[in-house]
Structure 1
Amino acid sequence: MNQPDASLPESFETLFRLHYPALCRVAFAVVEDEDTAKDIVQDFFLYCLKRKDELTFNVGFSQYAARAVKNAALNYIKRAGRITSFDTPPELPDIPGRHQETDESEITRNAALWAAIASMPQQRQKVFLLSNRDGMKYADIAKQLDISVNTVKTHIKLAYQFLRKECEWMIRTLVVIFFISK
């Protein structure tokens, strides 16, 4: 399916009408507030409208939009200071079409995640947990561990890469479950 040309006003409205509900669900899954989710999606479309001549998509618009809205929602939560603990991630709301996990599968997923974290090199694990579990800023971590801020950034980047690789099976399982539940 071809995406409408975002440079044309009527096509932009088509993109908005076509993708707005799904993007609101993406944002709501992260921020857990309907009005905030709508604001995030509207801000995204305003951003696109203002930069319609500059924007080019390497992937389809829907993929770009979903990722951009998810990142905007995560940034909103980060700015609001609502990420408090890596141990207890926020529960995603019940969204139509979303498969409800059983307690057993959630326990298995969390155990696999913590096992992956435990298998990281000690310094990387320490930096990652100070940042994500304890909510410390990069500068504070650098000062506490007597390393540079760039070293902290490198450890965080490598930790995320490692976790993506180690937990790839979880992502595949979630995708399969999502398509089976449809």
Structure 2
Amino acid sequence: PFRLKQIQYRSYQRVIEIYHFRATYLSVFDFRNLLRRDAHGYMDTLVGSDTLLKDQYIPPGDEVPAGCIEVAYLPGVFPRRKVSDGSALGFRMGNANIEWFCFERCISGEILERWMWDPESRKVQIAEGGVVDENDPRLLFDRVASLGKGTERRVVKAAHKEHNQWHGSLWDAKLRRVKV
């Protein structure tokens, strides 16, 4: 059973980072298969509705590039006492669903900013050493936007609509069923 408890939206003040996942390098299925609890804090996959499809205006030039999938990273969405807060990574699958990969800790510096595609070996490699160039085309995740709540008050109505919708999709998500 899934054991992480999500923070209520009125209390969620964190910035949601929006990425483009380069699915031409690696499928979402293969990405999920690389995740492990001991190495990455991966807990489980939930499936939520993609409510952003209905009324999201996409300005010209802001479309998701071909071969990419829009992804939202929600840091600190699963508060935990005495340890780091859990996070979630939501992939807009294009079938009116968002697949949420849930982690018991932060993964931004560990996965989102360091996993790279090696075209020679055709495998994922972890960038070693110092600073990684965020414009490196080998990165699996390309950060494209930061989405704040739009208010510092503990409210829902005054919040940025897309920020609220990402959180709401995770809030209503259910465990992904696995066929055996």
User: If the TM-score is normalised by the length of the shorter chain, which range does it land in?
Assistant: under 0.3
Structure that is richer in helix per residue: 1
TM-score of the superposed pair, with normalisation by structure 2: 0.27
Structure that is richer in strand per residue: 2
TM-score of the superposed pair, with normalisation by structure 1: 0.27
